[in-house]
Structure 1
Amino acid sequence: MKYGILAAIGLTATLGLPAFAANDPAGEVRTFGIVPQQSASRLAQMWGPFLNKLGEETGTTFRFRTAKDIPTFEACLAEGAYDVAYMNPMHYAIFSEESGYRAFARQADKRLKGIIVTRKDAALDDLSGLENAQVAFPSPGAFGASILTRAALTDMGVDFEPAYVNSHDSVYRAVAAGLMPAGGGVMRTFNATSAEIRDELTIVYETEAFTPHAFAVSANADADFTADMQQAFLRIAEENPELVSGIGMVGLQIAADGDWNDVRALEMSHEESGILQEGELTCPSD
Structure 2
Amino acid sequence: MRLLIILIFWTLSAASTAIYAAQSDADKVYTVGVVPQFEVRKIHTIWRPTLDLLEEKTGYRFILRGSASIPEFEQEFIEGKFDFAYMNPYHLVIANEHAGYIPLVRDHGHKLHGVLVVKKDSGITDPSQLKGKTLAFPSPNALGASLQMRQELHDNFGINFTSNFVKTHDSVYLNVLLNEADAGGGVQKTLNSQKDQYKEMLRVIYKTTGVEPHPFAALPEVPVEVRNRVRDALLEIGQSKEGRKLLAEIPINSIGPARMDDYLPLKLLNLNRFYVEPHQ
Q: TM-score, normalised by structure 2?
A: 0.86
| Letter aligned with residue 118 of structure 1 | V
Give the partner amino acid of 1:254: P
Q: Which residue of 2 aligns with 1:220?
A: 221
Identify the residue that residue 5 of structure 2 maps to in structure 1.
none
Alpha-carbon distance in 2 for matches of 1:197, 1:46: 21
Does the alignment pair 1:199 with 2:200?
A: yes
Q: Give, as a single letter, the amino acid of the residue that structure 2 aligns with 1:231.
A: D
Which protein has the larger Cα radius of gyration, Structure 1 or Structure 2?
2
Normalised by the length of structure 1, the TM-score is: 0.85
Aligned pair in 2 of structure 1 residues 233, 275: CA closer, same or farther (>3 Å)? farther
C-alpha displacement at 1:109, in angstroms? 2.3
Is 1:175 matched with 2:166? Answer: no
User: Counterpart amino acid of 2:160?
Assistant: D
Match status 1:235 vs 2:209 = no
Matched, 1:254 2:257: yes
Deviation at 1:70, TM superposition (A): 0.6
Matched residue SS, 1:170:
helix
What is aligned with 2:138?
138
Whether the 8 Å CA contact 1:211–1:263 is kept in 2: the answer is: no
| Correspondence for 2:116 | 116
Fraction of identical pairs, as percent:
34
Q: Deviations over 1:87-139 (max 9, x none)?
A: 11111011112111000111122211111001111100211221111100000
| Alpha-carbon separation, structure 2, partners of 1:158 and 1:273 | 15
Give the unaligned 5+ runs of structure 2: 1-25
The DSSP-based 3-state class of the residue aligned with 2:239 is helix
CA-CA distance at 1:82 after TM superposition: 0.2
Aligned to 1:5: none
1:192–1:211 CA distance, 2 compared to 1 (3 A):
same
> What secondary structure sits across from 1:265 in the alignment?
helix
Residue 210 of structure 1: aligned partner: 211
Taking the aligned partners of 1:203 and 1:266, their CA distance within structure 2 comes to 23
Amino acid at match of 2:248: S
Are 1:189 and 2:177 matched, yes or no?
no
Deviation string for 1:229-249 (max 9, x for gaps)? 111111111112111112223
Per-residue CA shift, 1:179-237, capped at 9, x if unaligned? 21110011111112232322221111001111111110012111111111111111111
Post-superposition CA distance 1:38-79 (Å, at most 9, x none): 111111111111111111111111111121111110000110
Query: Structure 1, unaligned stretches of length 5 or more?
Result: 1-25, 282-286
Q: Does 1:245 align with 2:257?
A: no
Deviation at 1:177, TM superposition (A): 2.1
Asked if residue 50 in structure 1 is aligned to residue 50 in structure 2, the reply is yes
Q: Which has the higher helix share?
A: 2
Counterpart CA distance in 2 for 1:83 and 1:34 is 11
Q: State the alpha-carbon separation in 1 of the partners of residues 55 and 173 from structure 2.
A: 33
What amino acid sits opposite 1:99 in the alignment?
A
Matches of 1:267 and 1:153, distance apart in 2:
14
> C-alpha distance in 1, partners of 2:230/2:111?
22
| Amino acid in the other structure paired with 1:235 | E
Q: Is 1:66 the counterpart of 2:69 in the alignment?
A: no
1:3 equivalent in structure 2 = none
For 2:239, give the aligned amino acid. E
For residues 149 and 129 of structure 1, the distance between their equivalents in structure 2, rounded to whole angstroms, comes to 15
Using the alignment, how far apart are the partners of 1:174 and 1:142 within structure 2?
Answer: 17
Q: Which has the higher strand share?
A: 1
| 1:9 counterpart residue number | none
RMSD over equivalenced CA pairs, Å:
1.5
Q: Residue 3 of structure 2 corresponds to which residue in structure 1?
A: none
Residues 78 and 94 in structure 2, CA contact (< 8 A), matched pair in contact too = no
Stretches (4+) displaced over 4 A = none
